[in-house]
Every structure is written in structure tokens, then in C-alpha cells.
Structure 1
Amino acid sequence: MQTQDKITQGQNVKPSRLTDSITASQNYLLSLQYPDGYWWAELESNITLTAETVLVHKIWGTDKTRPLHKVEAYLRRQQREHGGWELFYGDGGEISTSVEAYMALRLLGVPQDDPALIRAKDFIISKGGISKTRIFTKFHLALIGCYDWKGIPSIPSWIMLFPDNFPFTIYEMASWARESTVPLIIVFNDKPVFSVDPIFNLNELYAEGIENVTYSLPRNNNWGDIFLLFDKVFKFAENVDLVPFRKKSLQAAERWVLNHQQESGDWGGIMPPMLNSLIAFRVLNYDLADPSVQRGFEAIDRFSIEEEETYRLQACVSPVWDTAWAIRALTESGLPKDDFSLVKAGNWLLDKQCLDYGDWAIKNKVGKPGGWAFEFINRFYPDIDDSGVVVMALNGIKLPDEARKKAAIDRCVQWIETMQCKPGGWAAFDINNDQNWLNEVPYGDLKAMIDPNTADVTARVIEMLGSCGLKMNSDRVTKALNYLYQEQEKDGSWFGRWGVNYIYGTSGVLSALAVMEVDNHRPQLEKGVNWLISCQNKDGGWGETCWSYNDPGFKGKGISTASQTAWAIIGLLDAGEALGTFAIDVIGRGIDYLLTTQTSEGTWEEAEFTGTGFPCHFYIRYHLYRHYFPLIALSRYQKLRDLW
């Protein structure tokens, strides 16, 4: 680690310049607060959910009731010069994403000979055509007759009837997979082909020619290919009507979907289950005026963003997450703990605590409710990551009713304690959701069927305990720390499941280890610090491309971004404070990068996707990441530089 007694290169960061930057950033963040007290900014992803929303409206015949004509302008703007559409910013284009964009444009009436579609076709064919797309893209095409259901894997409906103590139930799937799969059990059983206007096919997108398509499931060339044999058996049983308990299973699936619809109309707080559930209702011949259908469409509308010329859909909304981090950033930057804005935000968060038993209680028989979810309403799925950040945010402010705040924090910590997984870490939504074989089933080609414990979420819990002075069973804490030690890579980094990627994971773990039994893990801290130092860019910032999930050779490599630079600085500062020695030059150059790239409004620009949904398959651009994380980094630097 680089050490100095005095600031050298960091001395270029003049105190007045730093103060002005923090003030501007603080004022900008305060200007974004909603009247009710929360913060909430766009959660941007790729175009597929917007394309699939067009499809669902076409299937229901509701396309004229929404401004879907603006989707065309949005999709045209998102098309890149190579003709395709991206999974994440700058990825060179991705085939499944591009096919779904093409499908949506055709659904919107754009003719096949439109120049944009000609370029898109050339790109798609160059990547192998429709046959090389993911299962979910093929599924959406099958719904309108542009792909054959023979090439879609079966989902046995009878899995709905397995008792809770059975080795496998739907609760062994990750929450997001479960919420998406149950309605699809209904859809896959019926294998519908809906008539849409305009009528078209996508034969031009089959690279091998439509007459040569085999409609076979892709092989993995490992033991998981046994599921291809199972799929043939399932399909045979469907064809001869020998599916056991089919009617009872489908009724159970329908009840589950109805019972899991939130009062806000959505399912799981995320778009895929919302779209799948509405398709299931269509298959079941629900009337458009049915309250469940109406609330479902209203929920989709709330996830939409309509501008003067464009219309798009968010995968999710993040008000609890954004509000908790905004509170932390503002308290770090010196706003009084009882500031009106913070009090309003804190009370809003208290009102959002989940006090119902959700799906997590199926496998956790001892825990009592007390977590927080990501969205405005999501009583079935509070998550550990949000809960940890909310606790730290509330702990840092002073509310009029401190007793209520303390009780809420205590409930949350007790709930989190019961959610610890067997290896010692914490997952996002569930406990011991780790049957990895599920990622080998043909239906699960996104490799995101489970929700195992991860280093970044575990680090959040440890940081929460250490920074807030909260208590948890010491054996549990020791087990969690040992889990983090085991997860450290040989080069000193940690994998980031929910943020891109090793910079995110490493920063989070460093912040956690820095506040918990420091003397017991100095070697781990030092290795993590040295890795972060090693991947600083020449401009002083840090960046990491999403490609690092596909190839670890891209670890810590990418153009500098505000959020990733802030993560690196935060990790280095926290570890430096714990170890009693700072990488002064490195941190100083990172701070200078943030100061130099700050806009006149007091924020930062960032086109890159630095949030992760499913590694390798789905990424997120949180529009406030580029703001509250740099504010935390600058503010923490201002406090700690006096120690140098």
C-alpha cells in the first residue's frame, strides 16, 4: 500500500474546491426530493421490457389506449450504428435484445423494408438469427406465431402441488424466477398463438432459412443435458394428455398468481412477472374489465416513462433504495441529523417497513417480519440489501419519535439474523436458495434461477452491524466473516453480484471489514486495497465493464465512471481508516477525477450501466448512482484528510 505522512499529489485538492463541490452536490440532491420525502430516479435497462409491453398490449387489444406510437421513436433512438440494440451501453449489440426490438417495431406497423429494420436484420443474421436467441425471446415470438412452441421447453404444472417439505418446490427458485414462472406454467400449458394486428412473420430473421429450423433446445454439453431428455418426456405426456393432476395444478397456479398480486397491482415489484401474469390472465379468458387485469395494467403504466416523443418501461422502481442512499449521502456531507428533509425521508422509510409474512417465511420458520423492500410496495419480498442500507440511513439521523425508529431497526436486525444462509452469508431475498442444478434446466438459460448468498449482500449486513453498533449472535458474525474470507479472490478482490462488478464487491467488503474486528482480518483488507489500487485508471478514476462477468480478464477494467470511482474511493478510505494508513496519492487522484468531472449543476454524467440484475444477461443504469455515491466519497474524504 502507498503511504505518506502528508498529502502530496492529493494536495492539489484545495479545501475550498472540495467544499464547493460538496455543497453543489448536496443542493442538487436536495432539489430532487419528492414532497412526500423520498428520492426516486429512473432505473434504466435495455429495450426488451418495452418491446414486451408492446406485445402484451397487442395481445390484449389495449395498444390504442396507451401512447405506444412513441415506442417507435424510442426504439429508433436506441438502435446503434451496427444495426442492433444493446444489452448494456457500448456492448456492440446483442442478438436477443435486437430481435425483440425488431419484433416490437413490426408490431407497431413498421414495414420490413424500413431502413432501420434492414440494418437490424443484417445485424441479427450476422449473429446467427432467431435460433440463437434466448428462450424468453423465442417464447415471446411463439405467442404471435413467429416461432414454434416445439422449440420452447416444457414447465411441468404439477410442481405447483409439491408440499413445502418436498426436496424441491417453487420456493427453491429465486423470488424473481418464482414470480415469473408460476404464471408461465399456465401459459406454457396452453401454448397459445394470438392473432395481432398487423399480421406478419419474422421468417427473414432465420439465418438458416425458415425451412431449415430444427426448433431444438440448445445443449450445454454437460450433465445438465439430461434435462433435454426429461423435456421430451414432458412434451410426450402433454401431447397424449397424460400430465398428472393437470387441472388441479393449473388451478393452484392461478390461485398463487391472484394471491401474490400486490395491492399496487404488480407482482414482485418487477416487470417480467407483471407481463407474464397478464398473459396468463389472457390465456384464462379473463375479461379486460376484471379488477386483477385492470390493476395489472395500471401497475405497468406506473413503471412507464412518457416524454414528449418517447415512451419506455422500467424493469423496476427503486424509491426505498434511492431514499436510503440519499439520506446516507446527505448526512455524510454534513446536513444536520434532524434536518427537515432528512426527518421527512426517515419517516417515509419507517412507513415502508414490511410487517407481513412474505415468501421468505416458507423456508424461514422462525423469523418475524421487519425488512424493507426495494419498491414503493412489495410486502412479499423485502430484501436484505435494502434493509441493511435503510438501517444505516435511519441510524444516522434523528427523528421526532426515536423510540419508533429504534423498534423498527431492532425488528429488521432480528429478521436479518434469521435469514443467514448455511455457508454463513446472506442472499438478497431468501434463505438457502441455492439448488444450483436449477440453472441447468432448459427454461433457465439466463442462469439466474437461484438466489444464493453473496459477498456484497453479506458485506452490507456486516457493515450495518459494525457501523451502527448493533448486536447479532457472535457465532453468526464469525461465520459471516469466514464466508467473506473464503470469497476473496486470489488477487484480493471480491465478486459483485448486484453491482458492476469486482470494484463494487471489493469496496463493499472493505467497508464491512473496516468496522468489524479489524485486527482479525488485516491481511484481507490489505490485499483488497492493493487490488483496488492496481486498477486505477490514468485519469485518476476507476471503471469496470459489464464484460467482467463474462471474462474475469476484464476485472477492474473499463473507462472511468463516477459511481465506480466513488466505490473505489469509499473502500480505500474505509480500509485506510481501519488500518491507520492511507493510499494518499491514489485517493487524491480519484478525488480530483470526481471534482474535475462534476457538472455545473453539481452532479455527474454517466452513460454506463453499473448496476447488475442478472450477471451476463441483464444490467441496470441507476440514474442516481452517479450522484449519491460520489457525494459520499467526497464527504468522507473531507472528514478523513484531517487524519493524514
Structure 2
Amino acid sequence: MRSQTEPSDEAVDATRAAVDRAVANLLARQLPDGSWMGELESNAAITAEYLLMRRYLEVTDTAREAAAIRYLRSQQQADGSYSIAPGVDGDVSVTAEVWVAMRAAGVPADDPAVAAARRFVADHGGIHATRVFTRIWLALGGLWPWSELPVVPPEWVLVPGHRIGSIYDLASWARATTVPLAILRTLETVFPLAGPSRSELPLGAPVPPVGSLTWRSVDRLVRLYGKLPKIGLRRLALAEAERWVVRHQERDGSWAGIQPPWVYGLMALRARGHGLDYPVLRRGLEALDTFGIEDEQGFRLQACVSPVWDTALALWALLDAGLDRDHPAVRRAVDWLVDREVQGLGDWAVHVPGVAAGGWPFEFYNDQYPDTDDTAIVLCALDAAGHRRDDGTPAGAAMTRAVNWLQAMQGSDGGYAAFDRDNNRHWVERLPISDFGEVLDPPSPDVTAHVVEAFTRCGGAELARRRALAWLRASEEGAGAYFGRWGVNYVYGGAATATALAAAGERADRERLLRLGRWVRRHLHDDGGFGESVLSYHDPRHIGQGEATPSQTGWALLSLLAAIEGSQGLDGGDELEGAALAAADWLVRQQREDGSWSDRLFTGTGFPRAFYLRYEMYATVFPLMALARVVGPDKGLKGPS
């Protein structure tokens, strides 16, 4: 007799059919070189800044501008604002940047969309209420006085990297942005705009400055220093900052593979007197356009691209679904990933000297900044494809180097950050420019869990694995909740943690896994879906709450399956199995005819409380991975034989 939580024949057949359709969809989306890459959507400020940068550098293209403006119009909310993510109220900084960009591109001030955006800014504190980086964009166009913005002395780059107070105290992304910004701020660079005029700015009332009192005092002292004769020191510092920028350009022309240091780098080189024919500038401009997407909505710029991440996840999901390891798609993906291995030393080596390179980046090329999260996921995918460390293949050799590199990147507390080891000098958080996103890269449960799973699967790092496991266990918040740094939010951190603990298979984690599974079950919607809003980073009342999405329901199902597997023998398994069946049924019902799923909301995290993303691939990869584990031969919800 079948138990109440055992899936019916019809449910098993429907799930297997959904898996087959999703496999066919992913195979059809594989690119000829063996990779996968979906769109990485963010907010409208990225495209607005692209428009402004092109105006500043006098790289204008009427058709491109028109397409970008069409996209910006499509993103405007009913109240005239632009938000940091769907379902979130308008953001004054994003709206101000879009308004200025549209005016700079020649859209009249009385255009209804432009007027509505300006009105929103005026009603929400004006330009004074925007973040520092928005006012930096205005200063670059001559619309805001540089004297009212924090100083960023280029002498910062002269501090030895291993010393406290160097630019290497900043997180990788903040560091890569700050160096070119120091050039622009020091030169008080202005690229004059034809419009808007200063008189158009809705200023609003002044607001208290950002940064602690101590660091605001330091800012005043640095301003005084800037007025003194430097006997060549300032000239030396600017030259070294420029060399730093040039050295950090990647092979594809990008900087750190992300938009902020890229656009600031281009403008800084122009401010230093280089023409658009300067090879570094030319490569950077040409490469930036490859991050653009143009369709019926218009033209938009991606803040980043995610081919390594997408490829590793897609490969892993297909292998979970039973695709043969000898399938041509698997072989092409493995070869592509191996070719993307980072083999040169990057910024991470400043604090981790004497260690050989290894690992993978997020993007096509990011030799300066490989990251532990991508490296862990690639290792898991290569292991699923049948490769082993030192198995005599290029993949096996790359895995060995990656495991060695990951061990060296472990924090002193046992946890794992994404890009650096022990990036925890909190003084940088008090700087007057630190009002947007994160400026440190601390360890997180999601990254640490991925590394634990990679070490468990690949071996060769037992001491590091046990230290990471201890850190992960200690990161539990409340009953079964684990923070998600790079995905929204606790359901993402929970899925990474649950699958890692289940893979580790230690008896001591059975109760922990059961708590985690119960946390997911408590927040599951009545119809089996799961959603958690980006607002969960802003207000704890939103934790585990929100409109259901396929990617988050996939994470919830992965958590439940891992909890069921890892807590066997404890009371409570039936309730988790019922929740898992409901989540699987929701995913089957939400699948589109072409075998894919689609997220309406953003479920990726760039900076909590500031910058969010929608990974196009997430909505299909994670439901496929989860459903494949529901009906897989070694999983807990097999149904009748």
C-alpha cells in the first residue's frame, strides 16, 4: 500500500516528462563553443550610466541612444520612478541617473516620462538625497561641484598592498572601482554636457554627509593636503594609479568583468589625456558593447555576464537528469570550462603570497579575480561529469590546481568569501564614499557551503573541509535559517547549506538538516510554490515571504530533498516529503511548453539592500536539478517501482 507522501504513478510520469522537456530545452540553448549564457538583468541605472559615459567620451550613436531610451522608457514605474528590482518602490538615485541620461541624450525636459522622473526625484529629497556615486556621475558632466564630494587621493595606491590602509583592504569590486575614481576625483574631471542645465536640478534639502565623524575629519585633512605642494608626489601617484588601471584590464578589454570599474576606467584614461584610439581605451569600449542586448524592448547593458557560472550549473543539472557523460554536449562543456581556468596570479595573491594560481572566474575572462564560488561549482560539475583530480586529463589537472587554490583561500575563521581571504578591515566601511553596496567581502554560508560540497566530492582537502563545515554549522540563524549573500535570500543560503551537509553525510548534522527542512516547509506556499522577496534584506518581516518563483521553488525543493536524505531515522520525514511533493508538483505545473521556466522577479544578489539581478538561466537550471533529484535512481522520492 502506498503511503500518503509517496508520489502517484501519474505524478512520477509528469515529473519525468518535465525533466525530459527541460533537458531538451537546455541542450538547444547550448552555444556552439560548448557554453551556456543567459541574460543577467539588473536595474536601469546601468544603461543610464552607459548613455552618460558615451556622451562624456563623445562616442555617440543616434540609433543606439534611441534604442537605449526606448528601453529606459519601458522600465519606468507608474509614479515616474525607477527601482532597484521589480516589486520594489522607486529609488531616488536610479531615477535621478535615468532622468539625467535621458536629458543628456536630447529628450526634452517636458517629455512626459522625463518630467515624471524629475518630479519623483524632487518629491523624494532631490539630488541631495541621492547616493555619492550618483552625484559623482553628475559632477563628471559638470552638474555638481566636485568640492561637495569626498576626496579619493591617488596616493592610496602607493601604500604597499600588505599594509593596513592599502587599497587591498577594499573588496575586489570596490578596489577596482576606487582606483580609476581616484584619478577622476583628483583631476576634478568634467566632460561638459549640452543638457540638462544646473538650473534644472531638483536639489532638495542638504542631508548629513556619509561616513563616520572621524573619517569626515580625515576627509577635511586630505582636502587640505591636496592644496599643498606635493613635490611630485601627486604626479607620481596619478601615474601609478593609471598604470594600475592599465595592468588590470582583462584580455577581453574589461575591468574585473563588471560595469563600474569598466566605465570609470575608460573615463579615467580619457581624463589622463589618452585619445579614443589608445589601444586600452579602444579595446575597452569595443568590449563593453558586447555586454549589450538589443531586442523589442530596446538596448540595455548588462552589468556583468555569467558564462562560467551558467555553464557549470547547466552541465551539473543535465548530468543530474541522467544525460550520459559521453554525450557531445557534456564533452563540449567540460572542454570549454577547462579552457576558462585562471592560470595567472591576480589581486588575491597580495594577501595570499606563494600560492599557485587555479580556479575559475564568473565571466569569460577575469584573471585578476577568480572566485571561490565559481570554482566550487565548476569542481562539482566536473566531478559529476566523471572527472577526478589527477585522472590524467586536462580536467583532472585543473581540478587539482583548483582544490589547492581553494585551500589557500580559506579564511582564518574557516569560512569562505568570494574573492579574497580575510577581507575584514572594517575601517573602509566608514569612508565617506562607502554609501552604496558592500565594500568588504566577508565569508558567507552560501559560498562556504559550495566549497564544502566541492571538497566532499573531490577530496584532497580534509582539514580545510572540516574547518569550513564547522564555520557553516555556526552560521545558522534561528531554527534552520542560513543567510544568502549571492542569492535571494535565506532559501538560497539554505539550499546551498542543505546540499552540502547532505553530501558530507555526517550523523551530527541530522537534526540540523531536519531544522533546515522544516524552515522551508513553514514558508512554502499553500500551492507548493516558494518565494522570498529582495525586501528580505531590508526588513526581516519579508524573510521567507514573497511571490513564488521557479528558481526559488527549485532551491526550496533541493533543500527539502537534502533534508529528507540527511535526516533519515528522525521523526518528521513525512512532513518534509509532503512539502517536497507539493513543490515538485508546482514546478511541473509552471513549466512552459518549450521546457523552460521563467522568473518574473530578481532572485540574484549583487549587493544586499542595493543591487539585485535576474539570472535568466536560474529559472530553468534549478527546477531541472531539483526535479531530476526527485525521480533520480538514488533519490528519496522515487515513487512506485
Give TM-score, length-normalised by structure 2. 0.95
Equivalence map 1:278-289=2 (5 Å): 278-289=266-277
1:529/1:309 CA distance change after superposition, 3 Å:
closer
Q: Distance in 2 between matches of 1:572 and 1:199?
A: 54
Contact residue 511 and residue 567 of structure 2 kept, 8 A: no
Q: State the superposition RMSD in angstroms.
A: 2.0
Contact residue 9 and residue 639 of structure 2 kept, 8 A: no
Q: Distance in 1 between matches of 2:273 and 2:161?
A: 30
Amino acid at match of 1:137: T
Query: What is aligned with 2:610?
Result: 617
Query: What is aligned with 1:572?
Result: 560
Of 124, 127, 150, the match for 1:127: 124
Query: What is aligned with 1:636?
Result: 629
Query: What is aligned with 1:345?
Result: 333
Amino acid at match of 1:120: A
Moved more, 76-85 or 188-197: 188-197
Q: Distance in 2 between matches of 1:376 and 1:162?
A: 31
Equivalence map 1:218-237=2 (5 Å): 218-219=209-210, 224-237=212-225
Q: Distance in 2 between matches of 1:65 and 1:78?
A: 20
Query: What is aligned with 2:140?
Result: 143
Of 408, 412, 416, the match for 1:426: 416
Contact residue 480 and residue 512 of structure 2 kept, 8 A: yes
Structure 2: 5+ residue stretches without partners: none
Query: What is aligned with 1:158?
Result: 155
Q: Distance in 1 between matches of 2:413 and 2:261?
A: 30
**Offset, 1:8:** 3.4
**Offset, 1:254:** 0.6
Q: What does the per-residue CA deviation read over 1:394-433, in whole Å, with 9 as the maximum and x for residues that have no partner?
A: 1111479862221111110010001000111111011111
Contact residue 43 and residue 85 of structure 2 kept, 8 A: yes
**Offset, 1:295:** 0.4
Contact residue 22 and residue 631 of structure 1 kept, 8 A: yes
Q: Are 2:440 and 1:450 aligned? A: yes
1:396/1:526 CA distance change after superposition, 3 Å:
same
Q: Are 2:581 and 1:588 aligned? A: yes
Q: Distance in 1 between matches of 2:606 and 2:440?
A: 13
Contact residue 48 and residue 101 of structure 2 kept, 8 A: yes
Equivalence map 1:174-323=2 (5 Å): 174-198=171-195, 200-201=197-198, 203-208=200-205, 214=206, 218-219=209-210, 224-241=212-229, 245-307=233-295, 310-323=298-311
Contact residue 338 and residue 398 of structure 1 kept, 8 A: no
The alignment partner of 2:638 has SS state of: helix
The alignment partner of 1:354 has SS state of: coil
1:89/1:563 CA distance change after superposition, 3 Å:
same
Q: What does the per-residue CA deviation read over 1:270-311, in whole Å, with 9 as the maximum and x for residues that have no partner?
A: 111110001101211101111011001011111111225611
Of 51, 73, 76, the match for 2:73: 76
Amino acid at match of 1:114: D
Q: Distance in 1 between matches of 2:538 and 2:221?
A: 33
Q: Distance in 2 between matches of 1:517 and 1:589?
A: 25
Amino acid at match of 1:530: R
1:398/1:516 CA distance change after superposition, 3 Å:
closer
Moved more, 483-492 or 62-71: 62-71
The alignment partner of 1:566 has SS state of: helix
Moved more, 162-171 or 41-50: 162-171
1:487/1:144 CA distance change after superposition, 3 Å:
same
Contact residue 58 and residue 197 of structure 1 kept, 8 A: no
Equivalence map 1:454-493=2 (5 Å): 454-466=444-456, 468-474=457-463, 476-493=464-481
Query: What is aligned with 1:376?
Result: 364
1:203/1:231 CA distance change after superposition, 3 Å:
farther
Q: Distance in 1 between matches of 2:83 and 2:547?
A: 18
Q: Distance in 1 between matches of 2:228 and 2:160?
A: 27
Query: What is aligned with 1:547?
Result: 535
Contact residue 13 and residue 592 of structure 1 kept, 8 A: no
Equivalence map 1:516-531=2 (5 Å): 516-531=504-519
Of 36, 47, 54, the match for 1:57: 54
Query: What is aligned with 1:20?
Result: 17
Query: What is aligned with 1:497?
Result: 485
Q: Distance in 2 between matches of 1:538 and 1:396?
A: 34
Q: Are 2:590 and 1:597 aligned? A: yes
1:578/1:8 CA distance change after superposition, 3 Å:
closer
Q: What does the per-residue CA deviation read over 1:205-225, in whole Å, with 9 as the maximum and x for residues that have no partner?
A: 2234xxxxx5x76256xxx22
Equivalence map 1:393-408=2 (5 Å): 393-398=381-386, 403-408=393-398
1:530/1:266 CA distance change after superposition, 3 Å:
same
Query: What is aligned with 2:27?
Result: 30
Q: Distance in 2 between matches of 1:244 and 1:72?
A: 45
The alignment partner of 2:19 has SS state of: helix
1:165/1:584 CA distance change after superposition, 3 Å:
closer
Q: What does the per-residue CA deviation read over 1:563-622, in whole Å, with 9 as the maximum and x for residues that have no partner?
A: 000001101101211222451110111011101111111111211000000110100100
Contact residue 540 and residue 592 of structure 1 kept, 8 A: yes
Q: Are 2:104 and 1:107 aligned? A: yes
**Offset, 1:377:** 1.0
Q: Distance in 2 between matches of 1:106 and 1:95?
A: 16
Contact residue 456 and residue 508 of structure 1 kept, 8 A: yes
Give TM-score, length-normalised by structure 1. 0.94
Q: Distance in 2 between matches of 1:517 and 1:562?
A: 28
**Offset, 1:202:** 5.8
Q: Distance in 2 between matches of 1:272 and 1:144?
A: 17
Q: Distance in 2 between matches of 1:244 and 1:431?
A: 35
**Offset, 1:241:** 4.6
Contact residue 153 and residue 217 of structure 1 kept, 8 A: no
Of 42, 56, 64, the match for 1:45: 42
**Offset, 1:26:** 0.7
Q: Distance in 2 between matches of 1:168 and 1:5?
A: 65
State, as a whole percentage, how many aligned pairs show the same letter.
Answer: 37
Amino acid at match of 1:478: R
**Offset, 1:339:** 0.6
Moved more, 154-163 or 492-501: 154-163
The alignment partner of 2:503 has SS state of: coil
Contact residue 440 and residue 447 of structure 1 kept, 8 A: no
Query: What is aligned with 1:362?
Result: 350
Q: What does the per-residue CA deviation read over 1:549-572, in whole Å, with 9 as the maximum and x for residues that have no partner?
A: 111221111010000000011011
**Offset, 1:151:** 2.2
Query: What is aligned with 2:88?
Result: 91
Q: Distance in 1 between matches of 2:36 and 2:26?
A: 9
Q: What does the per-residue CA deviation read over 1:425-454, in whole Å, with 9 as the maximum and x for residues that have no partner?
A: 111011111112211211111241111111
Contact residue 437 and residue 611 of structure 2 kept, 8 A: no
Q: Distance in 2 between matches of 1:199 and 1:141?
A: 10
1:17/1:362 CA distance change after superposition, 3 Å:
same
Q: What does the per-residue CA deviation read over 1:239-293, in whole Å, with 9 as the maximum and x for residues that have no partner?
A: 3455982111111101100111112111101111110001101211101111011
Q: Distance in 2 between matches of 1:338 and 1:379?
A: 30
Q: Distance in 2 between matches of 1:632 and 1:562?
A: 12
Contact residue 604 and residue 613 of structure 2 kept, 8 A: yes
**Offset, 1:236:** 2.2
Amino acid at match of 1:619: Y
**Offset, 1:166:** 1.6
Q: Are 2:426 and 1:436 aligned? A: yes
Contact residue 11 and residue 588 of structure 1 kept, 8 A: no
Q: Distance in 2 between matches of 1:172 and 1:305?
A: 35
Q: Distance in 1 between matches of 2:196 and 2:229?
A: 31
Query: What is aligned with 1:211?
Result: none
